[in-house]
Amino acid sequence: MDLKQSKWYYGCLDDEIPSDDIVFLVTYFVLSNKDRIYEVVDIKENGRPVNPPEYLVSLLIYGALRHINGTDELAEMAKFHQKFRYACGDLQPSGRVLRKFMQDYGNLFKQVLALTLNLAYTLGLTDFDFVCIDGTIIKATNSPFNVIYYEDALVLIENLKSKSPSSEAIDDLRRPAKKFYYNSVMSTERKIELLKKMIEIMDSNGKNKIPAFDIDSRSMQTKKGHKEPSYNMQLATDTQSKLICAVHISQHPTDHHELPPTMDKAVENLPTKPHKVSADTIYKQESTLQYLEKEGYDGIIPDQGQNRINQGKIPDNLFHKDNFTYDFDNDTFQCPSGETLKHKSTTYEESKDNKNTKIRVKSYYNYNACKNCKYQDQCTPQSQSHRVIQERGSDLSLEMKNKMNTKEYQEEYKKRGSTAESPNGTLKNQYHINQIISRGQEDKENKITLRAVAYNLKVIFNKILEADDTINFKNLVKYHIDDYMLEITQEFDDIKFKLTELKKSKSITKE
């Protein structure tokens, strides 16, 4: 398939496309990595498939860049729009072909995401030394009212298995369950299989209802304050380039334990292992701190008090715990009046998240100082004779607290503000990931990863234009298709050189 061929008109597909259009970078990127694509996509024994997968991948990425979520709409654009026709080599695949490809090979985009990171690393855009983790709740393709209750699932299984189902029992079912029963597309065996899985899930999580369309989704509280079927999307983002390093879709409603699996995915994708990892206060869990130490990461996670101070929310009460300064070397606290509170006792309490885990609680106080202190009435609760400061967590938690009290790490943590939340907002507001139709946890992750690939290529494209806005991107693709590999290398070496010079000039300006 030749992207330069004429078809029913005089000229070539790229004649009317500007030389600085991102479609050329997308096509070059995909075609230069087509060997990796063919490692994932099965090739029939009698030769190449009817629709070469590299062109389907190119079209899907370009469609995501243009914020098109529907495959039928994308198929129409591939018939009539010059840039979309160019992206798919004028294949003009149907919406059904695109849907089937995403269904069978959607996990391919996890590898493609890693290839975008390799491209950025090759061009010298970043060294991936510092990665931020952040999460947000995203909607599942399931109405909060389209749910099947436990008792309805049992009635459905009984009647689906029966040779003479009870019409009265079916009529008494709630509307979603009744609709499930009369679904003509799904076989009876498939219905029974799904219902058994639903009951198994409800038994494990203790709920009495489950989403009917997307059974992998879980009820989570949105920013609007109400609960609906959703997923927890975690992103690992490079602080230097703002490239997305990993997408992790979780069924857990909170971020407490999501850093380790997200970082594991990021390391699989990245060409080099990061050194620093930053996250918000909610990620500061004992298991996370142990993970960071084991993997050799320099964690940057403040506790609640430090986070309040970072946000400028300093408590009005002078004797709030946030105003007690911790001395890591001596394992003591200094109160606002200058007295030292020493470690006096250690107890253990049951973890709220895991009953098998015990949380260490260290108590600090100075009975004599409090007894003679003129601020005792303001500082000490009426039920106590002296002020007690309790610190929960292991030595790893105290080390993190001490580290986050230093100016160096406070400045490092500030980098997270402009990095971690930016891709989340972009994917939600520009790539409309809440409107993506998906079914299941894996399908949701695959389709959001496709948008992350598009986002990364857009970032790389903008960085290249920043270095030199006169670059002719048409040459990248022309050289590749004509197999002028030497000229491709030279073209990209030129881009890499210009990016390096831009980076040097920026560092000189900062100095």
Residue 119 lies in a domain: no
Which residues, including other chains, have CB under 8 Å from residue 52's CB and lie 6 or more apart?
A: 1, 89, 91
Q: Residue 364 has what pLDDT?
A: 93
Residues 316 and 390 in one domain: yes
Coil, strand or helix: which one is 384?
A: coil
- Confidence (pLDDT) at 356: 66
- Name the DSSP class of 11: S
Q: Are 227 and 136 contacting, i.e. CB atoms less than 8 angstroms apart?
A: no
Residue at 469: amino acid letter: D
Which residues, including other chains, have CB under 8 Å from residue 228's CB and lie 6 or more apart?
Answer: 139, 140, 143, 144, 219, 220, 222
Q: Which of 394, 419, 440 is the last residue of a domain?
A: 394
Does the pLDDT value for residue 267 go beyond 80? yes
182, part of any domain: yes
34 and 93 inside one domain: yes
**pLDDT higher than 50, residue 269:** yes
Q: Three-state secondary structure along 165-213?
A: CCHHHHHCCCHHHHHHHCCCCCCHHHHHHHHHHHHHHHHHHCCCEEECC
Look at strands 276-278 and 130-139 and give their pairing.
parallel
The pLDDT assigned to 478 comes to: 57
Q: Give a yes or no: residue 232 inside a domain.
A: no
Last residue within a domain, chosen from 394, 423, 445: 394
Residue where a domain terminates, one of 162, 194, 212? 212
- Per-residue pLDDT, averaged over 36-54, amounts to 72
**Which residues does residue 135 pair with via DSSP β-bridges, in sequence order?**
234
Number of structural domains in the chain: 3
Regarding whether 330 and 387 lie in a shared domain, the answer is yes
Q: Is 226 within the bounds of a domain?
A: no
> Is there a single domain that holds both residue 154 and residue 206?
yes
Let me know if residue 355 belongs to a domain.
yes
pLDDT at 395: 85
pLDDT digits (tens, 9 = 90+) for 276-334: 999 999 999 988 999 999 999 999 999 888 888 777 777 778 888 888 888 888 889 99
Q: Give phi and psi for 47, each to the nearest 5.
A: 130, -160
d(CA 329, CA 395): 12
Residue 403 resides in a domain: no
User: Do residues 35 and 97 both lie within one domain?
Assistant: yes
Residue 11: what pLDDT? 56
Residue with token string 């009317």: 16
Residue ranges of alpha helices (H) inside 243-296 are 259-269, 286-295
Residue pair 289/394 in contact (Cβ under 8 Å)? The answer is yes
> How confident is the model over 139-147, as a mean pLDDT?
92
Residue 32 lies in a domain: yes
How many angstroms separate the most distant Cα atoms in the chain?
96
Would you state the pLDDT for residue 354? Answer: 65
Q: Higher model confidence: residue 498 or residue 388? A: 388
Average confidence score pLDDT of the chain: 86
Residues 28 and 90 in one domain: yes
- On the question of pLDDT at 506 being above 60, the answer is no
Query: Cβ distance 307 to 324 under 8 Å?
Result: no
Cβ contacts of 44 within 8 Å, gap of 6 or more:
none
Closest by CA position to 264, among listed 254, 274, 255, 256: 274
At residue 12, does pLDDT exceed 80? no
C-alpha span between 81 and 55 (Å, rounded): 15
| ∠ Cα 337 343 348 (to 5°) | 130
User: Pick the residue with more confidence: 312 or 193?
Assistant: 193
The residue ranking higher by pLDDT, 305 or 67, is 67
Are 91 and 158 in the same domain? no
Least confident segment among 89-98, 342-351, 449-458, 462-471: 462-471
For the chain, percent of residues with pLDDT exceeding 70:
88
User: What span, in angstroms and rounded, lies between the C-alpha atoms of 438 and 422?
Assistant: 24
- Whole domain around residue 378: which residue ranges? 312-394
Give every CB contact of residue 18 below 8 A, 6+ residues apart in sequence: none
pLDDT of 10 over the 80 cut: no
Q: Residues 167, 95: one domain? A: no
- Asked if the model's pLDDT at residue 211 lies above 70, the reply is yes
pLDDT per position as a tens digit, 424-466: 889 999 999 999 999 999 999 999 999 999 999 999 999 888 8
The yes-or-no verdict on residue 492 having pLDDT over 80 is no
* Same domain (yes/no): 89, 160: no
The confidence score (pLDDT) of residue 329 equals 85
User: Which pLDDT value is given to residue 325?
Assistant: 87
- Please indicate, yes or no, whether residues 154 and 97 belong to a single structural domain of this protein: no
Q: Is residue 77 part of a domain?
A: yes
Question: What region does 447 belong to: left with phi over 0, alpha with psi -120 to 50, or beta?
Answer: alpha
311 exposure class (CB count in 10 Å sphere: 0-12, 13-18, 19+): exposed
